[in-house]
Copies of this chain bind each other. A is one copy, B any other.
């Protein structure tokens, strides 16, 4: 790429660092920017520069917000007795967009992943325990909604054990649950993996 001007090349190289963008797409994106109005680029550039300063973690659930408390935690119409624990803010948004859950969340910002040297203290588990401790008997259910893969399972299992200790110590009565496993809707049995099929059999329902 000897002949790409450095103003474009630097932007393309930055795009290339983002997930799912290869060299060709990065170049196309950088070139595309040239077609946009200058004021749009100015405001985008400013937003990028201010992003980290403007975006904070909610002091309750660690969801991202520009205020002290996020819009979910400050919405008193939501069910205050239920907390769904997710790995990332994007997981939270999947639930919110589906409009399928009306309780509160807790964002771990990661998962226990020993191979990448991420232990229980590197994600926001202690904040979850403190929050549950403060809520006390108001709380009815904790839903562990980490991903159904190895690290997500390990994280869910670790948190479940800590929660069971807390319940025994303090006499709390909330239930701890995990997302249901089975065939995704619209799936084709022929292409389902064995683990999913086994879960689908185990979790079969009366019909």
Interface of A toward B, CB cutoff 8 Å: 1-8, 10-11, 14, 17-21, 25, 27-29, 31-34, 36, 38, 40-55, 63-66, 70-72, 88-90, 92-93, 96-97
A48 to B28, CA, bound (A): 15
Which chain B residues lie closer than 8 Å to A42 at the CB level?
49
With the chains together, A117 CA to B162 CA distance in Å? 66
B5 near A34 with CB under 8 A, answer no
Complexed CA–CA distance, A18 and B29 (Å):
7
Partner of A33, one of B32, B45, B48: B48
Known contacts A25-B20, A51-B8; A63/B32 CB under 8 A: no
Contact, CB under 8 Å: B48 / A44: yes
Q: Which residues of B contact A33 (CB under 8 A)?
A: 18, 48, 51
Q: With A5-B55, A46-B49, A54-B5 as known contacts, state yes or no: A19 contacts B28, CB within 8 Å.
A: yes
Interchain CB contact under 8 A, B10 and A47: yes
Give, as a whole number of angstroms, the nearest-CB distance from A109 to chain B. Answer: 10
> Are A1 and B97 touching (Cβ within 8 A)?
yes
A92 to chain B, nearest CB (A): 7
Q: How far is the CA of A54 from the CA of B45 in the complex (A)?
A: 15
Query: Are A32 and B48 closer than 8 Å at their CB atoms?
Result: no
A52-B42 Cα distance, complex, nearest whole Å: 10
Contact of A41 among B29, B48, B96 (CB under 8 A): B48
Interchain CB contact (< 8 A) of A92 among B3, B50, B65: B3
Among the listed B21, B34, B46, which residue makes an inter-chain contact with A55, where contact means beta carbons less than 8 Å apart? B34
Q: Beyond A3-B71, A8-B64, A27-B90, is A34–B52 a contact (Cβ under 8 Å)? A: yes
For residue A27, which residues in chain B have a CB less than 8 angstroms away from its CB? 90, 93
Cβ contact within 8 Å between A32 and B19: yes
Known: A8-B64, A41-B49. 4 other contacts (CB 8 A): A3-B93, A20-B25, A34-B52, A34-B55
Of all chain B residues, the one with the shortest Cβ separation from A99 is B2
Residues in B whose Cβ lies below 8 Å from that of A34:
51-52, 55, 64
